[in-house]
Structure 1
Amino acid sequence: MIANRREVLSTSAKVASLMLASGLFGQMAHASGPAAGKGAFDAKTMADMAKALGYGAPAESKDVSITAPDIAENGAVVPLGAATTLAGVKQMMLLVEKNPSVLAALFNVSPEIEANFSTRVKMGQSSNVFAVAITNDNKVLFAQKEVKVTLGGCGG
């Protein structure tokens, strides 16, 4: 029996290490930083971001879905989600149109995992948010939703 938090953490780390070493996790999804390309995080629009990553023009699609509140009571922690049922998706992104950096999160997708991600982002003001799916043939498909922010985020 595990008695304390230290033992739980130690046991969890050992199990995770064994699973990674044996390949049970496959290629894990992760939010990208420098691997996403500095230009993508500096982009001010979705089209600029797609261009910085070397992709085509964005197109709205019913196969991509976004989960976001209609009204965010606190702009410092706004829950957002992106999902798609499309096959052959290599990346999923969450974009916030009026943030200083439009690219809020980028997730690499492998065939072993479901393209369904969620996170929390900071929003300085009411804005359109986008869930974007990039396919293996570099098509950029997206869904959008307006989120109204009632309390400060990035700016306050």
Structure 2
Amino acid sequence: MERRHFLATGSGATALALAASAGLSPAQAQTAAAWNKLAFESKTLAEAAKAMGATTAPVESKDLILQAPEIAENGSVVRVGAQSNIAGTTQLALVVEKNPNALAALFDIPAGTDANVSTNVKMGQSSNVYALAKAGDKFFYSVKEVKVTLGGCGG
């Protein structure tokens, strides 16, 4: 229990220390944390895009490739990835439509690197999963339905 308490109470200080080691001032770190908080509290694709800076609705793109299984046998660990072939991609996000907080992951893409990410996400139920890419001031998405089964019996 002591370890959990330390992690829970120390997380803010740890984040601030990591931000400082990255060269951010405390004010910049708090601004970044507030921005991320808003994005991760989003309930829809549109809200997530708006929190990332979108002024117009995202547009579907074949140049944004979403890698996700058609069937996930364990909703606790679903491997999802996105690859953007859109020039100037600066952010990639993974959004799970029916999760309580839709935004599952957000990645900043440094200039000169491939816009290709993957991670495990948790899915409470079958849902549409979106890859969302920011390139310049435009946003693009790709979508795929992922069916979550319970014990391999369907869901």
- Give, in whole Å, the separation in 1 of the partners of 2:133 and 2:34: 17
Quote the Cα distance in structure 2 between the aligned partners of 1:34 and 1:150.
Answer: 35
CA shift, 1:34, in A, is 2.6
Q: Please tell me the root mean square deviation across aligned C-alpha atoms, in Å.
A: 1.6
1:47 matched to 2:37:
no
> What are the equivalent positions in structure 2 for 1:130-149 lying under 5 Å apart?
130-136=130-136, 138-149=137-148
Q: SS of the residue aligned with 2:76?
A: coil
Pairing of 1:17-96 with structure 2 (within 5 A): 34=33, 36-55=35-54, 56-96=56-96
State the Cα distance separating 1:113 from its structure 2 match: 1.1
Whether contact under 8 Å (1:71, 1:150) holds in the other structure is yes
d(CA) in 1 for partners of 2:140, 2:60: 6
Partner of 2:108: 108
Which consecutive unaligned segments of at least 5 residues does structure 2 have? 1-31
- For 2:62, give the aligned amino acid: K
TM-score (norm 2): 0.72
Tell me if structure 2 keeps the 8 A contact 1:93–1:104: yes
Q: Give identity over the alignment, percent.
A: 55
Moved beyond 4 Å, runs of 4+: none
Structure with the greater alpha carbon radius of gyration: 1
Q: State the TM-score, normalizing by the size of structure 1.
A: 0.72
Figure out how many residues of one structure are paired with residues of the other and give that number: 119
**SS at 1:37's partner residue?**
helix
Which amino acid in the other structure matches residue 109 of structure 1? I
Distance in 2, matches of 1:84 and 1:36, equals 23
One-letter identity of the residue aligned with 1:49: A
Unaligned 5+ segments in structure 1 are 1-32
